[in-house]
């Protein structure tokens, strides 16, 4: 067996200083008391951060200046600095490259549709899963992101939407997908805490509905079961990319540890526990995983494990420069989708955004490096 990639590699660099968004409401009150301030200041600070989406001390006029300095200094360190923001699709897609306190680079992408605005966020800087077709996977894992670094991507995008900085005027950030850099379930504790902060009602959190949050995984089966037991209503997306172990061992190397059967049975447990359909993500790659027999096998295995509790999203591969991996031709894609549907499993093609702005996850960070 080949050595598994750097799945659980120790982070190379350190997490940022403690931030308000790392803490539960009770922990925030304690932290404020430790700073020698009245516990109700925690609520005020949370209100600025989670409800007003502000990190600017000058706007916190309900807190006396001396306390403000102490509280912001102790609980609101600057976490992410925007170093590049690129727009495309007529200003309805915006990709941001962030630098963290230690120079770590990460990305998030905001996509506005007629009926919703979705933010794709990173849960790790880099990724240890080593999927060969992915820009992020090529650089390995840099480090886990802290809970607050994950939440702050969302706060910032919510402010962009509210302030009308996207084409279409002011609006509301409605959906979050953990599909940026990293494997969310390899940073389990911080990701679950971030989901709670993102979905807790304001002012304890950002107030986005749990059903509007999607956690995407390559299939860390035990962590999928653990996530199910959190009893949250988030959607689970599993990046399967092929129904057979032989090819999946290559496309998604962690498959050597948890096979397709193990992943799909964990997905079934998630569907049964949450009552929600699971999304199966399938990046269609020319001459690699786009054969008709694989479409048929995919439908068969999904029906067996998940019955009707599943939906397949076919994603035309977003090729990274210099890579041998390419998207399948449209007629091949159409036939693949037709066969999966004919096999009794709902299947559609995911709209891809940001082709002109290095949209494949990790591409912008790789270019910057």
Nearer to ligand SF4 by Cβ, of 200 and 290: the residue is: 290
Q: Tell me the closest approach of the beta carbon of residue 121 to ligand SF4, in angstroms.
A: 12
SS (H, E, C) 276-293: CCEEEEEEEECCCCCCHH
Q: Tell me the closest approach of the beta carbon of residue 55 to ligand SF4, in angstroms.
A: 28
Residue written as tokens 């925030």? 28
Q: How many CA atoms lie within 13 A of 226 on its CB side?
A: 14
Nearer to ligand SF4 by Cβ, of 53 and 227: the residue is: 227
Kindly name the residue from 27, 69, 107, 256 that is annotated as catalytic: 107
Q: Tell me the closest approach of the beta carbon of residue 318 to ligand SF4, in angstroms.
A: 11
Q: Tell me the closest approach of the beta carbon of residue 268 to ligand SF4, in angstroms.
A: 21
Q: Which residue number places its CB atom closest to ligand SF4?
A: 137
Nearer to ligand SF4 by Cβ, of 8 and 231: the residue is: 8
Give Cβ neighbours of residue 364 (< 8 Å, ≥ 6 apart): 84, 86, 95, 97, 107, 357, 358
Binding site for ligand SF4 (CB under 6 A): 127, 129-131, 134, 136-137, 181-183, 218, 361
Kindly name the residue from 120, 127, 131, 361 that is annotated as catalytic: 361
347 annotated active-site: no
Q: Tell me the closest approach of the beta carbon of residue 131 to ligand SF4, in angstroms.
A: 3
Q: How far is CA 101 from CA 90, 116, 117, 208, in A?
A: 32, 31, 28, 27
Q: Tell me the closest approach of the beta carbon of residue 5 to ligand SF4, in angstroms.
A: 9
For residues 248, 253, 256, 257, the Cα torsion angle rounded to the nearest 10 degrees is -120
The dihedral sign for the CA sequence 212, 182, 195, 161: negative
Q: In whole angstroms, what is the distance from residue 31 CA to residue 229 CA?
A: 29
107 annotated active-site: yes
Give Cβ neighbours of residue 147 (< 8 Å, ≥ 6 apart): 21, 22, 190, 191, 193, 194, 197
> Longest C-alpha distance within the chain, in Å?
68
Strand bridging mode 310-316 / 346-349: parallel
Nearer to ligand SF4 by Cβ, of 122 and 274: the residue is: 122
Give Cβ neighbours of residue 312 (< 8 Å, ≥ 6 apart): 279, 280, 282, 298, 302, 340, 345, 346, 347, 348
Q: For residue 253, what are its two tokens? A: 């190397």
Pick from 308, 314, 310, 316: nearest CA to 348: 314
Nearer to ligand SF4 by Cβ, of 20 and 240: the residue is: 240
Nearer to ligand SF4 by Cβ, of 72 and 130: the residue is: 130
Residues annotated as catalytic are: 107, 361
């Amino acid at each position: 067996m080949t050595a598994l990639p750097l799945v659980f590699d120790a982070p190379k660099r350190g997490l940022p200083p403690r931030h308000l968004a790392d803490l539960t409401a009770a922990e925030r009150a304690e932290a404020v008391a430790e700073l020698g301030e009245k516990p109700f200041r925690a609520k005020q600070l949370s209100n600025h951060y989670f409800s007003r989406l502000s990190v600017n001390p000058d706007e916190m006029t309900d807190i006396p200046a001396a306390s403000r300095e102490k509280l912001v200094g102790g609980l609101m360190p600057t976490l992410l600095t925007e170093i590049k923001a690129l727009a495309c699709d007529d200003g309805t897609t915006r990709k941001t490259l962030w630098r963290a306190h230690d120079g770590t680079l990460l990305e998030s992408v905001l996509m506005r549709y007629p009926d919703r605005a979705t933010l794709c966020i990173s849960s790790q800087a880099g990724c240890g899963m080593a999927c060969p077709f992915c820009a992020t996977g090529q650089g390995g894992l840099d480090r886990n992101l802290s809970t607050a670094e994950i939440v702050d991507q969302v706060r910032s995008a919510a402010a962009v939407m509210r302030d009308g900085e996207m084409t279409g005027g002011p609006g509301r950030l409605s959906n979050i997908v953990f599909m940026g850099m990293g494997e969310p379930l390899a940073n389990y504790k911080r990701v679950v805490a971030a989901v709670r902060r993102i979905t807790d009602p304001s002012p304890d959190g950002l107030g986005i509905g749990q059903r509007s949050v999607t956690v995407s995984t390559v299939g860390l089966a035990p962590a999928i079961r653990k996530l199910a037991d959190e009893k949250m209503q988030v959607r689970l997306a599993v990046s399967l990319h092929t129904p057979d172990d032989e090819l999946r061992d290559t496309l998604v190397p962690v498959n050597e540890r948890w096979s397709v059967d193990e992943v799909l049975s964990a997905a079934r447990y998630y569907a049964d526990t949450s009552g929600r359909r699971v999304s199966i993500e399938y990046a269609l790659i020319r001459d690699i995983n786009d054969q008709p027999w694989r479409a048929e096998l995919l439908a068969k295995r999904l029906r067996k494990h998940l019955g009707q509790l599943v939906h397949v999203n076919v994603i035309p591969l977003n090729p990274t420069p210099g890579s041998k991996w390419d998207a399948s031709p449209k007629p091949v894609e159409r036939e693949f989708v037709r066969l999966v549907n004919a096999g009794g499993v709902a299947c559609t093609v995911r709209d891809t955004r940001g082709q002109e702005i290095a949209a494949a996850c990790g591409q912008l960070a790789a270019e910057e490096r």
